[in-house]
A and B are shown apart, each in its own frame.
Chain A
Amino acid sequence: MKILSTSLLILFQLFVFGQKSDLNGLDLNSLITINKNYEYYSIDDYSKAFDSAIVLKSDKINFKNNIIGNVTLSALAKSIIDGIDNNRINVNSKETISLLSKFRAHKYFIYQPEVNKTIKFFGYMCLGEYAHLYSIIGNNKSLLVITIICGLVLAVILLHVFGKIQWRFKNFLNKIILVLFVLSIVLFIGFKSTCDCNVSEYSFYGIPVN
């Protein structure tokens, strides 16, 4: 009797759960409903749907659930990137950042905009890539104009410091130049010593830049 019941149980499990690791035998129509429109989903709805998809994806017994979980994850990820592109989802909100990190843990890197030029500039400065910065400035007309203007301002300051230009408020200007000079040195040293941990692809000292 025990053998008969065990055999029946095994047969039942094979029939119900023992599906092949492909989509044969799976009702594809059931998956079409997954690819639905998530237009009205809030971040919280997405988060709950993500958690449900992960539970299904982790089902090692019923392979159908595994497939549904995987397809749902892809559908949610696609919907979120559409939402970001349409400004329906605020990419810098805490809830979104948390949701995107959950997806990243499962290898869905949903939001990867091009690294901002300002971040790149400070990044190269952080790495001490001054020759590369020089070549970037040389190849960019607007940056070149800004650099030339900065150079001219610096030249005027130097002329002032060495007494070649007589200003009306000489003492006051001297104080301002001294403060700016000390401040820039302090900022530069502070930046160089802390930039490693505080400048990343999409944030500058905790400020999102994307």
Chain B
Amino acid sequence: MILNTINLTMSYCNRTPKIFCVLIFLFSILIGKSFAQSNIDDVLQKKYLFYGEAKFQLYEFRAKQNGKEEGKIKIKYLVKDAYQKFVELNKNKKILLVTAASFTSAFFNNGTPIGICAYEGEFLNKMPNQTMDGLVVINPNGLFDINYVSDLDIVKKECGNLTCNHRFHLNPRENVLDSYYFYDWIQKEKLSVFQTQLVYSHLKTKDENFKNLSVGVNSKRRRFLVLAKKDNELRNIIVNSEKHDYVMKASKDVYEMLTDNGYVVDFILNLDTGSKNLLHVHNGKYLENLRPNTTTKLARIERASNLIVFYTENNTTYNEDTIN
């Protein structure tokens, strides 16, 4: 964009006084910058919302941009040499947001993902974690979709309004025959999947979801992946909180905050904010590291054990992008 602007300005400069050239050049850069920013705003909305004293950063992706072209934003779950895969993806895609996703036993090295985990049909762990109730299959066609997320606390006979016996609602944690169907489906369709804590599920009542708010530790920052609807349109929202809090307390605050703001929440999934806590978001010019001053080098993207990446197909508008 800037290179085009320079070329156009230089060709014009051969025929006009230099002061006009400088003014036109500066004006063009301003226009170019605002254009780039508005392009990002079309696909990624950033905002702050409050609930009581808690302040949350929201990064919201919509299934449709300007009411058209469904599926413009895509998602990848990168695991096993996650950084190398991220670098490859960054070469020909426009990365909008990248964050740590599921939990691993990793400490000194890549480690093993906790719970069921597969990358594009290849399983890294087939053993379901017995306590984590969220199973997330990456939708190959767009945003995280409600049909691709399973609440493992819900057995088939109680799957509510969902279509029972559908492959999306298999429960490999509770039923070994389901586990066969599920693994077979993931391998054949070359899908990626991870397991994490489902801290809110629309398949349970509010009381069932938030019955114990002070479980675990309150010494961690929190980040959630939210699947919600607003104006009947699917939204994927990464909600980030810098406040140290209990996971269920923070998730309840997120649920109340989003509900108060007109969202219909389907699922809230917990994301890893442990020693490998990282969040990079595109700021209109480049992918910005929002946690640059971490106290541990484990929290660098180069050391990530797994990543969720929101991206669009590459756009020539952003050729000047760099990773910070």
Q: What residues of chain A have their CB less than 8 Å away from a CB belonging to chain B? A: 21-23, 28, 31-32, 34-35, 67, 70-71, 74-75, 77-78, 81, 85, 103, 106-110, 112, 115, 119-120, 123-124, 126-127, 129, 131-132, 134-135, 139-140, 196, 199-201
- CB of B48 closer than 8 Å to a CB of A: no
A16: min CB distance to chain B, Å: 21
* Residues on the A chain within 8 Å of B106, using CB: 201
B95: min CB distance to chain A, Å: 27
Q: Judging by beta carbons under 8 Å apart, are B295 and A134 in contact?
A: yes
Q: Judging by beta carbons under 8 Å apart, are A108 and B114 in contact?
A: no
Interface residues of B, dominant DSSP? loop
**Which residue of chain B lies nearest to A200 when distances are taken between CB atoms in the complex?**
B108
Q: A112-B112, A112-B129, A140-B219 are in contact. Are A132 and B124 (CB under 8 A)?
A: no
- Among A35, A67, A107, contact of B126 (Cβ-Cβ < 8 Å): A107
Q: Judging by beta carbons under 8 Å apart, are B127 and A110 in contact?
A: yes
Q: Judging by beta carbons under 8 Å apart, are A123 and B123 in contact?
A: no
| Residues of B in contact with A, size category | 20 to 34
Q: A71-B179, A123-B108 are in contact. Are A81 and B130 (CB under 8 A)?
A: yes
* Residues on the A chain within 8 Å of B295, using CB: 129, 131-132, 134-135
**Which residue of chain B lies nearest to A79 when distances are taken between CB atoms in the complex?**
B176
24 contacts between A and B (CB under 8 A): A31-B177, A71-B180, A74-B126, A74-B172, A74-B180, A77-B127, A78-B176, A106-B126, A107-B123, A107-B127, A108-B125, A108-B126, A112-B112, A120-B107, A123-B108, A124-B296, A129-B296, A131-B295, A132-B275, A132-B298, A135-B295, A140-B219, A200-B108, A201-B107
Give residues of chain B (276-324) contacting chain A, Cβ–Cβ below 8 Å: 295-298
* Residues on the B chain within 8 Å of A34, using CB: 176
* Residues on the B chain within 8 Å of A115, using CB: 105, 107
CA distance A5 to B92 in the complex (A): 57
Q: Judging by beta carbons under 8 Å apart, are A107 and B296 in contact?
A: no
**Which residue of chain B lies nearest to A80 when distances are taken between CB atoms in the complex?**
B127
* Residues on the A chain within 8 Å of B184, using CB: 21-22
Other contacts beyond A34-B176, A70-B183, A127-B298: 12, CB < 8 A: A22-B184, A81-B130, A108-B125, A112-B112, A112-B114, A129-B296, A129-B297, A132-B298, A140-B219, A200-B108, A201-B105, A201-B107
- Among B127, B179, B181, B296, contact of A109 (Cβ-Cβ < 8 Å): B127
Most B CB within 10 A of own CB, among A107, A126, A131: A107
**Which residue of chain A lies nearest to B112 when distances are taken between CB atoms in the complex?**
A109
CA distance A201 to B109 in the complex (A): 10
* Residues on the B chain within 8 Å of A135, using CB: 295
Q: Judging by beta carbons under 8 Å apart, are A71 and B127 in contact?
A: no
**Which residue of chain B lies nearest to A128 when distances are taken between CB atoms in the complex?**
B297
Pick the 9 closest A-B CB pairs, nearest first: A132-B296, A132-B295, A74-B176, A74-B179, A135-B295, A75-B176, A131-B295, A108-B127, A107-B126
B185: min CB distance to chain A, Å: 10
CA distance A135 to B293 in the complex (A): 12
Q: A112-B112, A129-B296 are in contact. Are A139 and B176 (CB under 8 A)?
A: no
CA distance A103 to B177 in the complex (A): 18
B283: min CB distance to chain A, Å: 26
Q: Judging by beta carbons under 8 Å apart, are A71 and B124 in contact?
A: no
Q: Judging by beta carbons under 8 Å apart, are A85 and B180 in contact?
A: no
- CB of B111 closer than 8 Å to a CB of A: yes
**Which residue of chain A lies nearest to B297 when distances are taken between CB atoms in the complex?**
A129
Q: Judging by beta carbons under 8 Å apart, are A35 and B105 in contact?
A: no
* Residues on the B chain within 8 Å of A200, using CB: 107-108
Q: Judging by beta carbons under 8 Å apart, are A129 and B298 in contact?
A: yes
A115: min CB distance to chain B, Å: 6
**Which residue of chain A lies nearest to B293 when distances are taken between CB atoms in the complex?**
A131
Give residues of chain B (169-204) contacting chain A, Cβ–Cβ below 8 Å: 172, 175-177, 179-181, 183-184
- Per-residue CB contact flags for chain B residues 111-151 toward chain A (1 = under 8 Å, else 0) read 11010000000011111111000000000000000000000
Q: Judging by beta carbons under 8 Å apart, are A107 and B124 in contact?
A: yes
- CB of B18 closer than 8 Å to a CB of A: no
**Which residue of chain B lies nearest to A85 when distances are taken between CB atoms in the complex?**
B130
* Residues on the A chain within 8 Å of B93, using CB: none
